[in-house]
Amino acid sequence: MVPSRLEVMQYVEKFVAEKLPVFLRNPELNWQPSDYTPDLSTDEGFEALRELREEASRLPEDALIILVGDMITEEALPSYASWISTLEGVGATGEPQTAWGAWNRAWCGEENRHGDLLNRWLYLSGRVNMREVEVTVQNLIADGGDTQSENDPYRTFIYTSFQEVATRISHLNVGKLARTVGAEKLYNLSAKIAGDEHRHARAYKYFISKILEVDTNETLLAFQDMMKKKITMPAMYMRERGEQVGDTFKKFEEVAKRSGVYTGWDYVEIVEQLLAEWDVEHLTDLSPAAAKAQDYLCRLPGRYRTLLERVQSRQPRKSSTDVEPIAFSWLYPHEVTTSNAL
Ligand SMILES: [Fe+2]
Ligand SMILES: [Fe+2]
């Protein structure tokens, strides 16, 4: 007999409870945005601010756009929190005293710092039109998004497993771009955020591995379904003032691709990573439909690679200073100099 989603999620919950101390950090001991931004109550803080602005002044425009886009994505946290709390067996029935509820709240708490830190850094950098960025954040929260995972915990945690790895890649690569212009402090904070995303990815991958143990067929079907729909980023509805839903995201995606921060190759590598993590290839005793899904999933990376190779030869990651700028209202139309700003 096929167990219901509710039964499975209640069963998996005890493993989640055991692992919470591994997958989450005590906020009183964990890093905070203040650790990576100047303390303006001190003279040293003003010196640190000058250094931050000097680092920011060296960043190529594309890196700045990606930082803003990543920050906006993080700032739409209210949508993600409410989404997780609607999942069968995780949300309404998982609040407030269950491990699922504890996970959701604490995960959101950790994510909240990412937006805070990037927002503060960008504000202090003086290179960003914060009001326009804030309008985009408000638009995104109001518009929501569609992860295509419905209220299904299987589809959703496959999505979040993928997504946490994708955000890790993005934060890490924008940090590497910063490093190429000697913005070492920005690299450090990007790597710190990426570290959180890595830990979150481990958690979501673990949740799916436990679900797989007791409901292998349905999990494979859910995985296949998400791969057929393709994973879209949570900020796919991003739009600047006066634009249509998704317009800004299309531009942002292009900048991420051309600067090598997140490309089709990353997408296929994440799919491969998930297949390996859940050992999809070696799952046995499957229903005919699940066996077909297994076959589809295992062939998917090869198909993507062939497609990507056909479209482009793999370029080394580099910052793009010689490409046409794509206009964003987030940046001032002129270059802001920061050397005499303080
Ligand atoms: Fe995050
Ligand atoms: Fe995360």
**Ligand 2: centre distance to CA 196 (Å):** 6
Distances, alpha carbon 236 to alpha carbons 176, 189, 204, 224, 245, in Å: 24, 25, 21, 21, 8
Residue 6 CB partners (closer than 8 Å, separation 6+): 88, 89, 93
- Overall average pLDDT of the 226-251 stretch: 94
Annotated active-site residue 334? The verdict is no
pLDDT tens, position by position, 278-317: 999 999 999 999 999 999 999 999 999 999 998 876 565 5
- Whole-model pTM? 0.93
Report the distance separating Cα 193 and Cα 184, nearest Å. 15
- Overall average pLDDT of the 20-35 stretch: 96
Buried b (16+ CB within 10 A) or exposed e, 38-75: beeeeeeeeebbeebbbbbbebbbbbbbbbbbbbbbbb
Report the distance separating Cα 13 and Cα 99, nearest Å. 6
DSSP 132: H
Distances, alpha carbon 297 to alpha carbons 102, 131, 322, in Å: 32, 44, 38
Whether residue 19 is predicted with pLDDT greater than 90 in this model: the reply is: yes
**Active-site hit among 164, 218, 253, 266:** 164
DSSP 136-161: HHHHHHHH----S-TT-HHHHHHHHH
pLDDT tens, position by position, 316-330: 555 545 677 889 999
Report the distance separating Cα 157 and Cα 91, nearest Å. 13
Closest by CA to 80, choosing from 165, 159, 14, is 159
pLDDT tens, position by position, 245-290: 999 999 999 999 999 999 999 999 999 999 999 999 999 999 999 9
Report helix angle 43-57 to 184-214, nearest 10: 80
Whether residue 337 is predicted with pLDDT greater than 50 in this model: the reply is: no
**Of the CATH numbers 1.10.10.60, 1.10.3720.10, 1.10.10.10, 1.10.620.20, which one belongs to the domain with range 5-28+44-311?**
1.10.620.20
Annotated active-site residue 200? The verdict is yes
Annotated active-site residue 324? The verdict is no
Whether residue 111 is predicted with pLDDT greater than 80 in this model: the reply is: yes
Maximum separation of any 2 CA atoms in the chain, in Å: 71
**Ligand 1: centre distance to CA 73 (Å):** 8
Helix intervals (H) in the chain: 5-23, 43-57, 61-75, 77-84, 99-125, 130-143, 153-180, 184-214, 216-229, 247-258, 264-277, 288-311
Residue 128 CB partners (closer than 8 Å, separation 6+): 64, 68, 122, 330, 331, 332
For the record, the structure tokens of 124 come out as 């202090």
Whether residue 108 is predicted with pLDDT greater than 60 in this model: the reply is: yes
Annotated active-site residue 197? The verdict is yes
**Ligand 2: centre distance to CA 4 (Å):** 28
**Active-site hit among 37, 83, 107, 200:** 200
Amino acid code (one letter) for 7: E
Annotated active-site residue 103? The verdict is no
**Active-site hit among 152, 196, 240, 253:** 196
Ligand nearest to the CA of 73: 1
Annotated active-site residue 213? The verdict is no
* Mean pLDDT over the full length of the chain: 92
Task: Compute CA 94 distance to the chain's CA centroid, rounded to the nearest angstrom.
Answer: 24
Ranges of each domain in the chain: 5-28+44-311
Annotated active-site residue 196? The verdict is yes
- Residue 2's pLDDT band, with cuts at 50, 70 and 90, is confident
Annotated active-site residue 167? The verdict is yes
